[in-house]
Structure 1
Amino acid sequence: MSTDSPTGPPQVLPEEIAALRADLAAASYLTSTIEQLLGPVAADALRRMNPVPADRVLTAREESAAVLLRLFTLGAALPRPQVETALPSLGVDGAMRLGLVEPVPMADADGAVRALLELAPYSASDDAGQIHWWIASDLSELATGRPLGPEHVLGVGGASLTLARITPRASVGTVLDLGCGGGIQALHASRHAERVVATDLSERALAVAAFNAALNGIEIELRQGSLLEPVAGESFDLIISNPPFVITPRQAGEGTTTWTYRDGGRAGDALLAELVRALPAHLAPGGSAVMLGNWEITDPAAWDAHPRAWVQDALDDGVDAWVLQREQEDPAQYAETWVRDGGITDRDPEWATLVGAWLEDFAQREVEQLGFGYLLLRRPDPAARPPGAASRPGRLRTEQVPGTGSGALAPHLAASLDAMETLAQLDDAALAAARPVRADDLVERRHLTPGQWDPMLIELVQGAGFARRVRADQQLAATVGALDGTLTLGQVVGAVCALTDADEGKTLERVLPAVRELILTGMATL
């Protein structure tokens, strides 16, 4: 199979890095500038990996940001004088020393240069404010016109953005970015951690991460090795991971190309199993782990069977675990997704062989579906327990989440993990004596047959978080409606039962578990 051959990794040369940073800033090489230059049609097309509209827009533009985008994203070979103008402090010779560009063979008298790496602006925001960075990565198939190579280092893609959105940003002492790739998660973590360690099996990925850290003036500690080997015996307050979880056929022969950045070299979903079982030993008291992953499903009625087995050791160790499945694909869809991710389409001769290898691999293990989602772990801090509270086994929650509501997911997930610990210390009597408050984003929807007074369905709907919907009867809806913190939960249930002539004992049996669930999912708070 023909793939791109990696060039040498970027070099971290302080003087040249400083000059490049100054040139990028002077060019206003920012996400907002690029969006403005391209316009909505070309920008949207570029996000879909269609460069034609962007190339048409940019060809006649002389602004430095337009030149840099054509060079570093579209893969255009440009005249040396034009690149010198866009990088006046660094110059083409400096860019060559950094490993960013090379001369084009057989160029004309003026010479021409082309990019060896993609260099893209990146913008985001967090609790510390606005972020404007530049992120280097290997050139995409959009620029090279070839499938990705085995040692390819990805830029900031959908998975990276998802992981950044679900990672808690509370200030912590130590963070581990496991499988750091180009280092985007480590860069984010540096804004709320005293120390960040980033690891990867790929030497090339670590070189790109070192370049990105230096270019953006950020210090991270980089270590090479497989999974948790580089941090043996260490613990962290937060572990972040977008591991190489993609399930790839292991049989010999064609169709088994390994993309190091996404394939962990194990059969099936064994890498995730190995990693999840090992992670708890590296969580400090109060520490959390947030990771992406996928898992094989052999029985659709038990979609969570694999992750349940993976976290059993963690639960025995007192660590809470939460598995959230966002979507499922059948084996054919999964194969198509990841073959295309490698830059191969159904027009390429390798397509049928690769897809067939995936389907055969899944058939051997009787895999019917593949689940995608998040895995979260939290080791409770003994010092945070109420006085006299005993240690407990870990709590497990698995759920298929329907969608995403408004607001940020990271605070929602962190609050739910906190609620898991709080609720573990409350028996039914203590919960009845508590004063829960319904969330501000919670609304009630009633579905009625036209002309009827009594609803055939009552739903409690979450506006933020995962936009969950909970079916409710009249008593639960009335109880939740009165949860403003004035009365205890038991008092509210008593009042509702007095008004509806319902049996208080039986109502409590139904309402208490339902309110626990509402608190755990952020639809009410304690």
Structure 2
Amino acid sequence: MWLLKPPGVYAPQEDSHLLVTALERESLPPGAEVLDVGTGTGALAIAAARRGAARVTAVDASVRAVLTTRLNALLAGCRVRALSGDLLEPVAGERFHLVLANPPYVPTPHPGFPRHSLDRAWEAGPDGRAVLDRLCAQVPPLLLPGGVLLLVQSAFSSAPRTIELLTRSGLDADIVDRRLIPFGPVLRARAGWLRERGLLEPGQDKEELVVIRARRP
């Protein structure tokens, strides 16, 4: 789909496309309520609306991303409720049939919160789990019975840990998609640091992305 991609807003990349593929396999019930967490340009939210979701909500910490999502949805002829706030706070007390999440997951050697707004779309602490752990704790209560979480992350940020946490929360979780992609500029720049931490094999120049599907019984 054609989307506005202004500076400072995370544009759809391989992880986004992988999540859209997983979304297309899901059967949405009548009246489906869908949540897109960390929406960026709104690509996943719009894809969910086109799949027939009755109501799509998109959230992002970036006000610029929320405004971009609203405009892209308008241009696409889709109805998307876009809200700004910290992770899931804007939808506290609501419940959904499907939650889509493309959170920050890249391990970083830099302590503290990223200064630049676009960096916040991928920087996720030394183990890459600063946002993933919060999602694993906060998403399960938002799922309706039979509801599904589709989450994309890097193998560098421990997919087994994500599955373990979601399973502890009562969800049936497993990896449903994998894809190897060449390193982009961010990972190329920190390859030495990743190698020092034992996350990168000598000569490795590809990252494995995985989609985790977790269903509430």
Shorter-chain-normalised TM-score: which range? 0.7 to 0.9
Compared CA separation, residues 154 and 258, structure 1 to 2 (3 A)? closer
Please name the residue that 1:180 is paired with.
39
Compared CA separation, residues 166 and 138, structure 1 to 2 (3 A)? same
In the alignment, the residues of structure 2 paired with residue 257 and residue 229 of structure 1 have an alpha-carbon distance, to the nearest angstrom, of 22
Do 1:296 and 1:306's aligned partners in 2 also have CA atoms closer than 8 Å?
Answer: no
In the alignment, the residues of structure 2 paired with residue 257 and residue 202 of structure 1 have an alpha-carbon distance, to the nearest angstrom, of 11
In the alignment, the residues of structure 2 paired with residue 279 and residue 248 of structure 1 have an alpha-carbon distance, to the nearest angstrom, of 24
Q: Secondary structure at the match of 2:110?
A: coil
1:11-30 aligned at under 5 Å gives the runs none
Cα deviations across residues 74-123 of structure 1 (Å, max 9, x unaligned)? xxxxxxxxxxxxxxxxxxxxxxxxxxxxxxxxxxxxxxxxxxxxxxxx2x
Q: Secondary structure at the match of 2:86?
A: coil
Do 1:248 and 1:263's aligned partners in 2 also have CA atoms closer than 8 Å?
Answer: no
Compared CA separation, residues 202 and 363, structure 1 to 2 (3 A)? same
Q: Secondary structure at the match of 1:322?
A: strand
Establish whether residue 232 from structure 1 lines up as the match of residue 92 from structure 2: yes
Compared CA separation, residues 324 and 194, structure 1 to 2 (3 A)? closer
In the alignment, the residues of structure 1 paired with residue 120 and residue 111 of structure 2 have an alpha-carbon distance, to the nearest angstrom, of 19
Please report how far the alpha carbon of residue 261 of structure 1 lies from its aligned counterpart in structure 2 after TM superposition.
5.4
Please name the residue that 1:170 is paired with.
28
In the alignment, the residues of structure 2 paired with residue 227 and residue 368 of structure 1 have an alpha-carbon distance, to the nearest angstrom, of 29
Please name the residue that 1:135 is paired with.
3
Establish whether residue 320 from structure 1 lines up as the match of residue 152 from structure 2: no
Cα deviations across residues 254-296 of structure 1 (Å, max 9, x unaligned)? xx97733532543322122221232111101111111111143
Compared CA separation, residues 280 and 362, structure 1 to 2 (3 A)? farther
Do 1:154 and 1:261's aligned partners in 2 also have CA atoms closer than 8 Å?
Answer: no
Do 2:109 and 2:125's aligned partners in 1 also have CA atoms closer than 8 Å?
Answer: no
Please report how far the alpha carbon of residue 339 of structure 1 lies from its aligned counterpart in structure 2 after TM superposition.
2.2
1:289-304 aligned at under 5 Å gives the runs 289-296=149-156
Determine which of 108, 113, 118 is the counterpart of 1:248.
108
Q: Secondary structure at the match of 1:247?
A: coil
Compared CA separation, residues 184 and 257, structure 1 to 2 (3 A)? closer
In the alignment, the residues of structure 1 paired with residue 179 and residue 21 of structure 2 have an alpha-carbon distance, to the nearest angstrom, of 17
Do 1:295 and 1:306's aligned partners in 2 also have CA atoms closer than 8 Å?
Answer: no
Do 2:58 and 2:80's aligned partners in 1 also have CA atoms closer than 8 Å?
Answer: yes
Compared CA separation, residues 309 and 251, structure 1 to 2 (3 A)? same
Determine which of 299, 307, 327 is the counterpart of 2:162.
307
1:46-125 aligned at under 5 Å gives the runs 122=1
In the alignment, the residues of structure 2 paired with residue 306 and residue 328 of structure 1 have an alpha-carbon distance, to the nearest angstrom, of 20
Q: Secondary structure at the match of 1:137?
A: coil
Q: Secondary structure at the match of 2:57?
A: strand
Q: Which amino acid aligns with 1:321?
A: A
Please report how far the alpha carbon of residue 328 of structure 1 lies from its aligned counterpart in structure 2 after TM superposition.
6.2
Q: Higher Cα Rg: structure 1 or 2?
A: 1
- Mind listing any 5+ residue stretches in structure 2 that lack a counterpart? 202-206
Compared CA separation, residues 265 and 159, structure 1 to 2 (3 A)? closer
Cα deviations across residues 360-380 of structure 1 (Å, max 9, x unaligned)? 36635x434664201111112
Compared CA separation, residues 338 and 291, structure 1 to 2 (3 A)? farther
In the alignment, the residues of structure 2 paired with residue 204 and residue 184 of structure 1 have an alpha-carbon distance, to the nearest angstrom, of 15
Cα deviations across residues 208-257 of structure 1 (Å, max 9, x unaligned)? 111111122222111111221211222101111122222222248xxx97
Do 1:326 and 1:373's aligned partners in 2 also have CA atoms closer than 8 Å?
Answer: yes
Compared CA separation, residues 304 and 199, structure 1 to 2 (3 A)? closer
In the alignment, the residues of structure 2 paired with residue 206 and residue 272 of structure 1 have an alpha-carbon distance, to the nearest angstrom, of 21
Establish whether residue 281 from structure 1 lines up as the match of residue 141 from structure 2: yes
In the alignment, the residues of structure 2 paired with residue 327 and residue 155 of structure 1 have an alpha-carbon distance, to the nearest angstrom, of 19
Do 1:244 and 1:264's aligned partners in 2 also have CA atoms closer than 8 Å?
Answer: yes
Q: Secondary structure at the match of 1:367?
A: coil
In the alignment, the residues of structure 2 paired with residue 216 and residue 362 of structure 1 have an alpha-carbon distance, to the nearest angstrom, of 43
Q: Which amino acid aligns with 1:311?
A: L
The share of aligned pairs that are identical, in percent, is 27
- Mind listing any 5+ residue stretches in structure 1 that lack a counterpart? 1-121, 123-133, 140-151, 298-302, 341-350, 381-526
Query: RMSD across aligned C-alpha pairs, in angstroms?
Result: 3.0
Task: Give the helix-richer structure, 1 or 2.
Answer: 1
In the alignment, the residues of structure 2 paired with residue 194 and residue 204 of structure 1 have an alpha-carbon distance, to the nearest angstrom, of 25
Determine which of 186, 193, 212 is the counterpart of 1:339.
186
